[in-house]
A = this chain, B = another copy of it.
Amino acid sequence: MTLRIAVAGASGYAGGEVLRLLLNHPGVLDGSIEIGALTAGGSAGTTLAAHHPNLLPLADRVLGETSPETLAGHDVVFLGLPHGHSATLAEQLPPSTLIIDCGADFRLNDSTAWEKFYGSPHAGTWPYGMPELPGARDKLRSATRIAVPGCYPTGTSLALAPAVAAGIIEPRITIVAVTGASGAGRSLRTDLLGAEVMGSARAYGVGGVHRHTPEITQNLQALTKQPVSVSFTPILAPMARGILATCVAPTTATAAEARDIYLAAYADEPFVHVLPEGQLPQTSAVVGSNAVHLSVHVDASAGTLVVVSAIDNLTKGTAGGAIQSMNIALGLPETAGLSTVGLAP
């Protein structure tokens, strides 16, 4: 029996990346998975080639309107929609359809935090698509609704979870994360123009106001009884893809102790890789892949643990994490269609 997959928001970066990965998925290659409806908002009626000239095998596909009708009759529906659009749509699809939401609508447990950061009523909470967090993988098995984590929460939660869970840091955490411009989506904003972005680094969402802050805190708070505080600063760097996150917190552990905890925590994880000592993460090494590269350091003089992580924001940070969760929910091999080999240089 063939599984049919639809992608809503196929003209955006998240939708395009889901399709890029699906085209290399063994299920699509052997015909057991079929790429069905591709839909969009304002771009409905155009071909996919107009938005993603890299997706040659689907170049001539015409985008439909994003609606319950066009998405009906699919076993899996990926949503790459602006925040706030997923809830209404999801209600109109059958409960048995596996809906995988790349947006934020169903990520947060705390409706107060949701309303504070997103300014709209809270839609609810779905199983969270970060299988590497303690307990998360089980909740994804046979799930029919999945909330894909944000890109920053992916890179930073995986960088910090072992230390928080092991109690080797005081959970007053400082994070500075550098992202490529695709992290902002395909939004028409003057400050995202190439001429503005190239040759320049700039901060944004400084002072605890970035929407990913409560999501990071939620992920880490679940691992400890101590109150977690997160000071998070995102930086836009002149590159298309990638997140490099530097995560710092007070510790009294030694470098060897910290490293051992990370090696143990991720020993069985197919995508999270603690680099050999002396090697440091670089985003080019993970671009296009679902890999997470981590390095673990202790600054004995400052009394801090420093963990640096690199991910591709569109792959492991969005669409790759989404496919990984889909694989788990469908009972497929978790790594199907996902590579640990990045594109470099």
Is A54 a contact of B344 with CB atoms below 8 Å? yes
Taking CB atoms, residues of chain B closer than 8 Å to A308 are: 203, 206, 233
Residue of B50, B201, B286, B306 touching A283 (CB-CB under 8 A)? B201
Chain B residues within 8 Å of A233, by CB:
176, 246, 248, 306, 308
**Contact (Cβ within 8 A) A284 B196:** yes
Complex contacts, A282 vs chain B, CB 8 Å? 53, 200-202
Which chain B positions have C-beta within 8 A of A56? Answer: 273, 291, 340-342
| A304 at interface by CB-CB < 8 Å | yes
Q: Contacting chain B: which of A80-88, A101-109, A137-145, A179-187?
A: A179-187
- Do residues B52 and A200 form an inter-chain contact, with CB atoms below 8 A? no
Q: Evaluate whether A196 and B196 lie within 8 angstroms (CB atoms) in the complex, with A13-B345, A202-B283, A233-B308 already known.
A: no
| Total count of chain A residues near the partner, CB < 8 A | 96
Is A222 an interface residue when CB atoms closer than 8 A count as contact? no
Q: Which of A127-135, A237-245, A261-269, A324-332 lies at the interface with chain B?
A: A237-245
Q: Is A301 an interface residue (CB 8 A)?
A: yes
Q: Is B341 a contact of A200 with CB atoms below 8 Å?
A: no
Between A298, A339, A345, the greatest number of chain B beta carbons within 10 A of the residue's beta carbon is seen for A345
User: CB-defined interface of A293-313 with B at 8 Å, one 1/0 digit per residue?
Assistant: 101011111111010101000
**Chain B residues, CB < 8 A from A176:** 176, 233, 246, 248
Query: In the complex, are the beta carbons of B284 and A200 less than 8 A apart?
Result: yes
The residue in A192, A203, A241, A289 that gathers the most chain B C-beta atoms within 10 A of its C-beta is A203
Q: Answer whether residue A44 sits at the interface, using C-beta atoms and an 8 A cutoff.
A: no
A288 touching B285 in the complex, CB below 8 Å, given contacts A54-B343, A198-B194: no
Q: How many angstroms from the CA of A310 to the CA of B283 in the assembled complex?
A: 23
* Alpha-carbon separation in the docked complex, A276 to B50 (Å): 10
Q: Could you say which of B285, B295, B345 contacts A241, with CB atoms under 8 Å apart?
A: B345
CA distance A276 to B49 in the complex (A): 9
Q: Does A168 contact B (CB under 8 A)?
A: no
